[in-house]
Amino acid sequence: MAAEKARPDCSCGPALADVRRRLMDDFPMLNAMRARRPMYVEKLVKVVRDCAEYNERYVMPVALEIDRRMEHDHDYFAWDLVQAALPYRLLSLAIPGLVGGVGGLSVMFSLAMEELCSACPGIGNIFGAHALGVSPFLVAGSMAHWESALRDCAESEKAGKPVLMAAAVTEPSAGTDVEEPNFLKTARLSMGAKKVAGGYVINGTKCFISNGSVADYTVLCCATDRDRPFESWTTFIITKDMEGFSVPRVEEKMGQRACPAAELLFEDCFVPDENVMGMEGDGMQPGTLLLLAASRAPVGAIATGISRSAYEWFVKWANRARAGGMRPIDRQSVQMAIADMKTRIQLARWAYLNAALTFDGSLGNVMNSPVTKSLAFMPRSVRTGDQFKKFFLSNAGKQMTEALIAAHTSSAAVTHALANASMAKAVGGDTAMYISTLALEMMGIEDSEERPWIEKAFRDAKLTQIYEGTNQLNRLVLFEAGIQKSLKIELKNPLGFGRKGGGPRG
Amino acid sequence: MVRVADDVMMAGEEERRMLVESVAAYRGQALDDYAQEMDERPDSGRFDLAWKKLAELGLLDALVCEESGGQGMDIYSFCIVLRELAAGQAAVAAAVLSQNVALWALDVAGMLGDAGPIEEFGGGAARAGIAWPATGDGAFVPGGTAAGLIVLASEEGAVMKSAPGDPTVEVKELDYPLGLRGCRPAIVKAVGMEGLAGAPVVSPGAERAIECRLLLGVTAIAAGITRQGWEKAAAYAAERFQGGDIIIKHEQIRMMLSAMEERLAVMEGALATAASRERLDVAECRGLKATACDMAMASAQDAVQVHGGYGYMRDYGVERLMRDAAYLRSYPRPRIATLT
């Protein structure tokens, strides 16, 4: 409630009715859904409207300035913008209502990402990378982890203090390799965790970690046996104050600068057993695969936001009269280009919504299951009590969580979600690059209000073809997960529970 | 270096071969290492040092005929020089192109002597740039911010010159440019003048010569960017281990690298043909430039992609190729403007 009261009372941002109309026009699937689930769709409209207001009020006035500043000042982070976002609950969009979050799943988060990134994908991705850090808790974390980290994040947000999260997967010598099960088997890893009494000792480096330098909680994946990386890939929760954990470097990026990409260094960093998420060895399958099924649709949405930004600034430019009184938009070639851009944006949009709906219809069922919801009726003192925590952190507790997931979804559903998510990510990234490049070429080089925004979109867009798995990898995943199936070649048990394909137990 | 030798064998002139090799050696020794610094901090002074060295090499008045005191280099040789420079730092090559075409245009218009001794712009390293086509919307001029002499030329072939402080010409440094940053580009506008009214027109038949030289020069720079992207990507792919092997053994990566190499071969062949003609063909030059810039952009994007996350980081100097290629596509003017 404190956050609700702190929310700015202003006339900024578009009217709810305008946003509703725009969303229903852009997303016919949502319009169709409205008849069956009017309250849910209205909640989506409000979230998008909030993002638009946040953009207009806070982001647009400073986005270019922050981008330029962070070209050289790598230690700067726009905490004031994160602070300003707290009343909008952008940090807890993906956190379940059970632990104080908004409880949005992939559809809600993807719509929010498109809206946020249509203003500044660097700032938008602060929330995107944060949600990427939240996602492993949803797909692999125990109730005890939800009650500690996720509740901390949601409650702190309400109290006016930002708590950020990050996910650390990429290593200096292994990028694509740590995002795909077959590649992981032959990866040359530089990081490893060694089992010791009461926990693990981690040594090594992660790189290009979005939010890595500012996160309070970082979800880290690494091997406990570097000779058997696939079988021993394990997920850990790292807190920023852990001894032996440091951030030696923030990268100098071409774009999306407002969201820092950091190198994380671990030197004999002790992580207690209770910070292991899921079981040892489940980090890739199901861990990372589920994470990517959850996160690639929002990345498609980030890219679509960038496309939209380039498109909207280009249309504005084209509408303005040049020397001699002519407007570029009066020319047929410009009209054709604008129509082409609009078409591609819509296709990318539908691809990410389709992927998000697929995810919400598979793993999302777990969040909405009666068993999960019934936990809300349990007194909080019980849920956060030692006995409860001890049970959920035990093998039996973790296996119960896995059973719950397995009961509400299936390997086939997860495979389908991963295929659609990979498709959405690849098409979104390619669209963003195409549109920003075309807009730049048609506009030319001139001293105009629109030029810096379109050039920024061009710089920002390229990253969407690279992170969350390069588009090449996403196409390979799509082939394996979405096309081979039609050739009667099934993906091997991506859910991996029961140690059939995932971990070393069995 | 092999490519330089091949080009020169086609041209068949020892003197040209030595010149080009000296440029390639200069690039390797002095340009490659500072290319990133010039881009990140255009005012660091590194560009000025490079410019002085280019003056010593005789590249700042290369296109001006010997009778007028220049080096008298033919356009094809000049393009090879630009390609060599662009394989190190495209912004430097673009500024060299702008300066040379500016001085050449003045020479053709019979106004070179009015601008001062040619030695100042050649060995003296004074800076010049050309605004073409000079319109009310402004023209993009690489190196224009620090240029003491701006030559404005219209599509109709009218030429005039301007020095800093001239009220009829507005020179504005481009704010936070995306590409070609190292040379501090400017937007130059002719203020209150329609079609450079009153300015002398260059000799009949030569009205497209300025455009052709700019287009061929941009093509050469595009080839340099493509080459740089290809070399960097191939070197990285031969070292980076992923998917059980070095990535150059992955078919998709090989296809990307092959495409870069093929584009480069096509560009260089077409450039040699177009630039060696006795009479330059403007339609050919326009088509060549547009195609070459598309190819350079595709190659630069592929080079970044081959590098993965590292390509997006500035340390590797690959993302710069994308940004520079983006500006080349709109220089000397956006493609849409050629449709009028």
Chain B residues in contact with A324 by the CB 8 A cut-off are 136
Query: What was the pLDDT predicted at B117?
Result: 85
State how beta strands A261-272 and A276-277 pair: unpaired
Q: Exposed, middle or buried by CB within 10 Å (0-12, 13-18, 19+), for B23?
A: buried
A311 and A435 fall within a common domain: yes
In a domain, A504, yes or no: no
Q: How many domains is chain B partitioned into structurally?
A: 1
Q: Could you tell me if residue B172 is inside a domain? A: no
SS3 A260: coil
Please report the pLDDT score of residue A423 as a whole number.
Answer: 95
Instruction: Write down the mean pLDDT value for chain B.
Output: 90
- Do residues B111 and B161 lie in contact, with contact meaning Cβ atoms separated by under 8 Å? yes
Which domain, by its residues, includes A338? 284-499
Residues A319 and A248 in one domain: no
Domain co-membership, A40 together with A180: no
Whether B213 maps to a domain, the answer reads yes
A380 & A250 share domain: no
pLDDT of residue A341: 98
- Give the per-residue pLDDT at A451: 96
The pLDDT value recorded for residue A8 is: 56
How many A×B Cβ pairs under 8 Å? 119
Mean pLDDT, range B302-330, rounded to an integer: 96
Same domain, A130 and A245: no
In this prediction the ipTM stands at: 0.94
Distance from CA of B65 to the nearest CA of A (A): 31
Alpha carbon distances (Å) from A178 to A125, A188, A221, B69, B181: 21, 10, 9, 62, 36
Amino acid at A77: F
CA distance B249 to chain A (A): 14
Q: Which residues of A touch B181 (CB under 8 A)?
A: none
Whether residue B303 lies inside any domain: the answer is: yes
Q: What is the CATH number of the domain that holds B294?
A: 1.20.140.10
Residues A261 and A382 in one domain: no
* Residue B9: band (very low, low, confident or very high) from pLDDT cuts 50, 70, 90: very low
- Which of A140, A163, A186 is the endpoint of a domain? A163
- Note the Cα A141 to chain centre separation in Å: 17
Tell me the residues of chain A between 193 and 212 that have a Cβ less than 8 Å away from chain B.
Answer: 207-208
Are A435 and A353 members of one domain?
yes
Whether residue B315 lies within 8 A of chain A, CB to CB, comes out as: yes
On whether both A245 and A276 belong to a single domain, the answer is: yes
Tell whether A332 and A353 lie within a shared domain: yes
List the single best residue of B336, B338, B339, B340 to mutate versus A (max A Cβ within 10 A): B336
Instruction: List the pLDDT tens digit at each of the 506 positions of chain A.
Output: 334 445 555 567 899 999 999 999 999 999 999 999 999 999 999 999 999 999 999 999 999 999 999 999 988 999 999 999 999 999 999 999 989 999 999 999 999 999 999 999 999 999 999 999 999 998 887 888 999 999 999 999 999 999 999 999 999 999 988 988 888 989 999 899 999 999 999 999 999 999 999 999 999 999 999 999 989 999 999 999 999 999 999 999 999 999 999 999 999 999 999 999 988 888 887 788 888 888 999 999 999 999 999 999 999 999 998 767 789 999 999 999 999 999 999 999 999 999 999 999 887 778 777 877 777 777 777 777 888 778 878 888 878 877 888 888 888 888 888 999 999 999 999 999 999 999 999 999 988 999 999 999 999 999 999 998 999 999 998 888 867 665 544 445 566 554 444 443 33
> What is the number of other CB atoms lying within 10 angstroms of the CB of residue B246?
15
Residue A40 inside a domain? The answer is yes
Q: Is residue A359 part of a domain?
A: yes
pLDDT band at B205, cuts 50/70/90?
low
Question: Looking at A241, A257, A281, which one is the last position of a domain?
Answer: A281
The pLDDT value given to residue A500: 41
How far does Cα A475 stand from its chain's mean position? 19
Q: What residues of chain B lie within 8 A of the CB of A432, using their CB? A: none
Nearest to B339 among A254, A333, A455 (CB): A333
What is the extent of the structural domain holding B333? 209-339
Out of B63-67, B131-135, B239-243, which region has the weakest mean confidence (pLDDT)?
Answer: B131-135
Q: How far is CA B223 from the centre of its chain?
A: 10
Q: What is the 3-state secondary structure (H, E, C) of A90-133?
A: HHHCCCCHHHCCCCCCHHHHHHHHHHHHCCCHHHHHHHHHHHHH
Query: Å from A436 to nearest chain B CA?
Result: 10
Looking at the complex, report in whole angstroms how far the Cα of residue B323 sits from the nearest Cα belonging to chain A.
8
Contact present, B336 and A442 (Cβ < 8 Å): yes
Total of domains in chain A: 3
CA-to-CA distance for A456 and A123, rounded, in angstroms? Answer: 13
Spell out which residues of chain A touch residue B172, defining contact as CB-CB under 8 Å: 447
In this structure, of A8-17, A355-364, B133-142, B323-332, the range with the lowest mean pLDDT score is A8-17
* pLDDT digits 0-9 by tens, A208-264: 999 999 999 999 999 999 999 989 999 999 999 999 999 999 999 999 999 999 999
Strands A217-223 and A245-250: unpaired
For residue B283, is it within any domain?
yes
In a domain, B258, yes or no: yes
CATH number for A444: 1.20.140.10
Same domain, A65 and A154: yes
Angle between helices A451-463 and A63-72 in degrees, nearest 10? 60
Residues of B in contact with A472 (CB under 8 A): 252, 305
- Asked if pLDDT for residue B198 goes beyond 50, the answer is yes
Tokens of A332: 């047929």
- Rounded Cα gap, residues A286 and A368, in angstroms: 20
Asked if the structure places residue B102 within a domain, the reply is no
Q: What is the DSSP string of A388-440?
A: HHHHHHSHHHHHHHHHHHHHH--HHHHHHHHHHHHHHHHHHHHHHHHHHHHHH
- SS3 of residue A280 by DSSP: coil
Give the model confidence (pLDDT) of B109-128 as tens digits. Answer: 888 988 788 889 988 899 99
Pick the closest to residue A55 from A14, A23, A24 (CA basis).
A14
A372 in the same domain as A345:
yes
Structure tokens given for B157? 């072939």
Q: Which of A224, A256, A281 is the last residue of a domain?
A: A281
Interface check B172 vs A, CB under 8 A? yes
Q: How many CB atoms lie within 10 A of CB B58?
A: 16
Interface of A with B in 332-391 (CB under 8 A): 333-334
CA nearest to A352, candidates A293, A460, A463, A428: A428
CATH classification at residue A147: 1.10.540.10
Query: Is there a single domain that holds both residue A255 and residue A359?
Result: no
